[in-house]
Structure 1
Amino acid sequence: MKKHFAATRALDGLVLDIANGEVLALMGANGAGKSTLVNILSGALQADAGTLELAGQAYAPASPRDAARHGVVTVHQSTDRVGAAGQRVADVLLLDRFASGDGALFVSRRSIRKQALDVLAHTGFALDVDADFGDLGAADRQLVAIARAVAAQAKVLILDEPTASLSQAEAERLFAVLRDLKTRGIAILYISHRMADLQAIADRVVVLRGGVVAADFVRPVPFDAAVEAMIGRPLASARVAARPMADRVVLDLRGVRLLAHSPAFDLQVCRGEVVAITGHLGAGKSRLLRALFGLESLAAGSVELQGQPYAPRGPQEAIASGVGLAGEDRHRSSLLPAGWPGATVAGTIALPHLHRWFPRGWLRPSVERKVAQSAITRLGIRTRGPDAPMETLSGGNQQKVVLARWQSEPQHLMLLDEPFQGVDVGARADIIAALRADTQTATLIATSDPEEALEVADRIYVIQHHDLQPASEHGSAAVLV
């Protein structure tokens, strides 16, 4: 299989097979060819050369809908196109059925609700079918997308970082569903870089590099060898050495309560320090970061930034105070929709700074491009240039652009919510290096993956039921094991 984009060889003679009832995990650094392969399999792209076979028959899907008709269903990392605000979960679950014309001509709300409940019962997911899809968090939207794909009776199911937004309990339920699908002979192509996922579900792990298969491992997977095959060098997995704290406290929380009934806690983050908060989904990590960015309110307590009282009434005040936030779902919180003016690398970086860079309202694209080109060089962003649309970048490179947005202006405090979601280990290493090289900014990270916290942080806190404790106290370290 071959696919070129101008002078770039995305796939360069790739040979790959997957058997019925097999979970094949696909790993690869940014630009290795994963997204191109998935787009070809799902009908979004056509290969330049090579052939595809599905169940022994020639397979050449002309579109994603055509691929789905053949039984190849893809659940993408972004769920923006799964459903929209105003749609009930029940309607989103049954959209494929309605679009195919297989359903009855006239259906009642009761019938739709019953069919949706049957879909969820089949997957084992606990979701409110009457809820508005637009009100769901990232994890629940991902569960809706997966449940809809399972209901489509796929022969080949492609999952792109499916556990990136899921709690451990939700991930275990997903793995149970996938094991059940295996027994029915469904082939599953599973894209992930999480060791826990590979250990839990993968029968084989194929590593792509430069558009070809660099390694093929069978269970049990030697993760270190897989990482080395992926990036061409060994990657230390041990925790980084903690640096001595600076004497300048940037963020000072005293007696903070996230909810009226939750325990009070203190937290200080110093200049040049990276502090990670880890814990299960819904424990309060995102709530804390959103409150510090002015998107929510704290129930109690005081906050100081640079020694001054800090209580932003919205993101604009937070940004003006030198606080930046990269939300957990970059597609919804940090990126403009594809095709919009400014939905480029340069435009994405410049967006929150426009009023400071261009106070008279006259935009100067050359200024935006200069800042973007500096970020591309500094962070190793793989793109054709500052004017490249964000939709053409891989997940890891998109996240680097989001980080570059806040590093393009001096910040007192950087808030990063699940910054490594959908990011391969190579890009993750680049992001970690950039964070730890910043000696002026205090950085607070929320991550549901303890291994990520161990990789990046000088200090780690564990949050449970909206109660924050240092990882070394009160038995909280057990959460990191």
Structure 2
Amino acid sequence: MSPTETPGSTYGTPGNGPSGAGSSSGTPSVPAVSLRDIGKAFGGKTVLASVSLDIAPGSVVALLGANGAGKSTLIKILSGVHADHGGEILVDGVPAALQTPLAARQLGIQTVHQRISEGVVPGLTVAENLVFEELAQRRGNPFLNGRRVLARAREIQAALGLDWSDTVLRQDVTELGISDRQLLILARALATRPRLLILDEPTSALSAAEAERLFALVETLRDDGIAVLYVSHRLGEIDALADRLVVLRDGRLTEDQARPFDWDAALRAMLAQAHGTTTARPVREGDQGEVVLSLRGVRLFEGRAPLDLDLRAGEVTGVVGLLGAGKTELARGLFAAEPFTTGTAELDGKPYRPRRPADAIRAGVHLVPEDRHADALVPGWSVAQNISLPFLRSFSRLGLVTTARENALGRDTVDALGVVTRDEHSTVEELSGGNQQKVVVGRWLAETPRVLILDEPFRGVDIGARRDIGRRARALAADGAAVLVLSADVDEVLEVADRVVVLAAGEVHLDAYGEDARRDRVIGTISASV
């Protein structure tokens, strides 16, 4: 039976697979999807460890976790992207082999990924993208009558309350804005009435009105017996929508709550270890060094209060905040990757107005970016070449790179940071994630910076690499530089910082030193600011 032949269903027919999907007519005895001892490792590094979770039909389960907690890997396992994992997945109580994304969809697991560009097919129309899964699975002649495609596309978009005209449906999908593309992907996912719908940061590209429409839809899905796994850093959304929340940290489930939620406990489980002691330095106000970089009246988000911030010589300032707090916006603004549009900045008492990263580098402001793969490393290049990249003029003569000097710098960096590699000629792809991160940090220490900004520098690295990077940051501060470390992980910041700043929605909610920056106070401030 085709989806158009199913009477009385808003979202089409259930996905093919084991019977017994939930409905509003009764409470099923088995979960829609169960995870049993799921484990996954990459290159010897454990990403998920013994994760077990039941998701009931007609429930909204929120999944929380800081960056690097393992959320994306878990989603990809459920979506059939990573088939080689430990443990077992059951759909309606029946063991299921999710070997491919198609197999997952056929079993009724639909995922709306955070990376919207990966969910649409450029070159096809909006209508063709809406019916793409049906086109891809059609046997025989894959080409449908254009009028049938258009008619089916109208049905699919209507389920989400979209009102795109036929003109819009006939245009190339790349002409849609980013929020409309996300709505398209969501509408397509709902066309098969999934058993489990996974929403990964679903409101990241939506306006307030579009988000409200999504929330109403999630409520309807729950009433209709569909299980929803809702992944978001926006705690207000979770508080309004979820029946249950689970927290993933370092690849393990550390918290599982039903309503009403204890947000202090949830944030502690997500952001801080349950053991250990605070290692913030005993620096107190009045003992600080000279101001190196000063911001006044800088606005990170439209409609939010501006912030003032001083970075001082000899000091490591740690900025803590959830995803969306403004950490990366602050880092990229200081580095002129996305220059501030409001406020003023001074570097060593003089106006600091970089228009592009090259200006910041010349001024001695260096950035280790959040995404090392997209923004820092050049695939196919050696360790030495990646380190020397921003400073090629220093290693060039008459326009030609002096490879002997470049290689010497590579060897010095490998030795200083303990990079585990064959030698400085190894390509960066041969290195583990932690050693790649050391290469990026080492690059920006090649020429002593006045200000070093580290955006999520410990993500995806083991504790040994984390400590090596932390030691280098502290040594640089001891030599008189100002160091800024930005992270969603409270313990990572407390381990290295003299001073802790809590950022939420682009505004400063705490700025404290030493004992005033206790873990409980930092987490309490984050909890109160959401």
TM-score calculated relative to the size of structure 2: 0.57
TM-score calculated relative to the size of structure 1: 0.61
Q: Deviations over 1:412-431 (max 9, x none)?
A: 234567x499989x99x979
- For 1:261 and 1:215, locate their aligned partners in 2 and report how far apart those are by CA, in whole Å: 35
- What displacement does 1:442 show? 3.5
Q: Bigger CA drift: 31-40 or 149-158?
A: 31-40
- For 1:316 and 1:366, locate their aligned partners in 2 and report how far apart those are by CA, in whole Å: 24
For 1:22, which of 34, 59, 70 is the aligned residue?
A: 59
The change in CA–CA distance for 1:198 and 1:406 in structure 2 (over 3 A counts) is: farther
Q: Deviations over 1:54-81 (max 9, x none)?
A: 2344422332233223322334454552
For 1:72, which of 109, 119, 134 is the aligned residue?
A: 109
* Aligned AA (2:363): S
- What displacement does 1:242 show? 7.7
- What displacement does 1:20 show? 1.8
- What displacement does 1:26 show? 5.2
Q: What corresponds to 2:335 in structure 1?
A: 293
SS in 2 for 1:17: strand
Q: What corresponds to 2:256 in structure 1?
A: 217
For 1:60, which of 78, 97, 100 is the aligned residue?
A: 97
Q: What corresponds to 1:350 in structure 2?
A: 387
- For 1:33 and 1:461, locate their aligned partners in 2 and report how far apart those are by CA, in whole Å: 23
Q: What corresponds to 2:244 in structure 1?
A: 203
Q: Bigger CA drift: 103-112 or 356-365?
A: 103-112
- What displacement does 1:458 show? 4.0
Q: What corresponds to 1:274 in structure 2?
A: 317
Q: What corresponds to 2:347 in structure 1?
A: 305
For 2:356, which of 314, 327, 348 is the aligned residue?
A: 314
* Aligned AA (1:413): V
Q: What corresponds to 1:413 in structure 2?
A: 451
- For 2:437 and 2:52, locate their aligned partners in 1 and report how far apart those are by CA, in whole Å: 29
The change in CA–CA distance for 1:248 and 1:229 in structure 2 (over 3 A counts) is: closer
SS in 1 for 2:161: helix
Alignment check: 8 A CA contact 2:51 2:253 kept? no
Q: What corresponds to 2:529 in structure 1?
A: 480
Alignment check: 8 A CA contact 1:251 1:269 kept? yes
Q: Percent identity?
A: 31
Residues 47-446 of structure 1 aligned to structure 2 (within 5 Å) = 47=84, 51-79=88-116, 81-83=118-120, 96=133, 99-100=136-137, 104-106=144-146, 118=158, 121=161, 149-150=189-190, 153-160=193-200, 177-190=217-230, 199=239, 201=242, 203-205=244-246, 217-220=256-259, 224=265, 233-234=274-275, 243-244=284-285, 246-253=288-295, 268-271=310-313, 272=315, 274=317, 290-295=332-337, 303-325=345-367, 332-334=374-376, 340-342=379-381, 346=383, 350=387, 352-353=389-390, 355=392, 358-359=395-396, 360-361=400-401, 368=410, 371=413, 389=429, 406=444, 410-415=448-453, 419=456, 437=474, 439=477, 440-442=480-482
Q: Which consecutive residues of structure 2, in runs of 5 or more, have no partner in the other structure?
A: 1-37, 421-425, 512-525
Q: Deviations over 1:242-290 (max 9, x none)?
A: 8537342222356778999999986543332537598997x99877755
Q: What corresponds to 2:30 in structure 1?
A: none
* Aligned AA (2:449): Q
Q: Which consecutive residues of structure 1, in runs of 5 or more, have no partner in the other structure?
A: 379-385
* Aligned AA (1:412): R
- What displacement does 1:44 show? 2.2
Q: Deviations over 1:211-254 (max 9, x none)?
A: xx666634156664895699874378999998537342222356
Q: Bigger CA drift: 234-243 or 173-182?
A: 234-243
Larger radius of gyration: 2
- What displacement does 1:318 show? 1.8
Q: Bigger CA drift: 48-57 or 316-325?
A: 48-57
- For 2:181 and 2:482, locate their aligned partners in 1 and report how far apart those are by CA, in whole Å: 31
SS in 2 for 1:81: helix
- What displacement does 1:323 show? 2.0
The change in CA–CA distance for 1:134 and 1:267 in structure 2 (over 3 A counts) is: farther
* Aligned AA (1:20): P
The change in CA–CA distance for 1:445 and 1:29 in structure 2 (over 3 A counts) is: closer
Q: What corresponds to 1:383 in structure 2?
A: none
The change in CA–CA distance for 1:72 and 1:247 in structure 2 (over 3 A counts) is: same
- For 1:7 and 1:278, locate their aligned partners in 2 and report how far apart those are by CA, in whole Å: 29
Alignment check: 8 A CA contact 2:124 2:173 kept? yes
Q: How many residues align?
A: 451
SS in 1 for 2:413: helix
Q: Bigger CA drift: 455-464 or 297-306?
A: 455-464
SS in 1 for 2:119: coil
- What displacement does 1:310 show? 3.1
The change in CA–CA distance for 1:431 and 1:46 in structure 2 (over 3 A counts) is: same
* Aligned AA (2:366): G
- For 2:95 and 2:306, locate their aligned partners in 1 and report how far apart those are by CA, in whole Å: 62
Alignment check: 8 A CA contact 1:73 1:156 kept? yes
The change in CA–CA distance for 1:61 and 1:347 in structure 2 (over 3 A counts) is: farther
- For 1:104 and 1:388, locate their aligned partners in 2 and report how far apart those are by CA, in whole Å: 46
* Aligned AA (1:154): P
Alignment check: 8 A CA contact 1:278 1:453 kept? no
